[in-house]
Structure 1
Amino acid sequence: MHEGSCQCGAVRFRVKGALPPPNACHCTMCRKQSGHVFASTEVKKADLAVTGAEHVTWYASSPKVRRGFCARCGSSLFWDPPQRDWIAVAMGAFDGPTQTALHLHIFVADKGDYYEIADGLPQNAQ
């Protein structure tokens, strides 16, 4: 069981089971949403329980994806393709150790020019 929350605590969540290895997305939309890179892990929707869901605001960032954030403090929490059975949860929102490690960088062709990716992990242009 892994728990987390937004910065103000209005939204709390719990994920059953081990967290899959996260990826770091460098696309323009993720950078604008998070202020830098959006690192997240994809979990089955059935394994995610949210308390304070009434404080989650959803923004449809594309026809296929919506992004969830706390309406009170603005914390980026979720990346949700509604047609799928999984949801991405922001790694930075988890409390305590996650017992997983970043495994991939995606959309590196869109990354900001102010940083380099030098951790040796695989990088996908898209």
Structure 2
Amino acid sequence: MKKIILASVLAAGAIASISSANAASTTICTGVSPAASGAAPGTTTSDFVKNAFTPKCSANVHMAADSAQTYMRVGSGSAKGGRSFIGSTAGGSVQSSALCATGCVASDATTACMSTNNPTSG
């Protein structure tokens, strides 16, 4: 019985890691100044967000999102700041992710979003 449970847990973990490896982030805010409306995340039945909306992006903010039917996670950073941040629907709050060299760029937001420290499940 213990071997069956262990095998089930290992199989579920392998499937979850394959799913996460195939995930791709979407740019929501592009870091433009002055502030602009962002690109709405996906709103299909396979996405976490079901109702379309237009995000309001602050000036100089880069933000990327990754979602599936059961989660949504984001990474962000300011072009004038020195740190990127992460957050997800997997329980927990917004957290500091990493230091940016000289103000954050789009790739810092994407890296934060897709970080293994930014969970897709609780």
TM-score (norm 2): 0.27
Higher-helix-fraction structure? 2
Greater RCO (CA < 8 Å, at least 6 residues apart): 1
TM-score (norm 1): 0.26
Higher-strand-fraction structure? 1
Larger Rg: 2
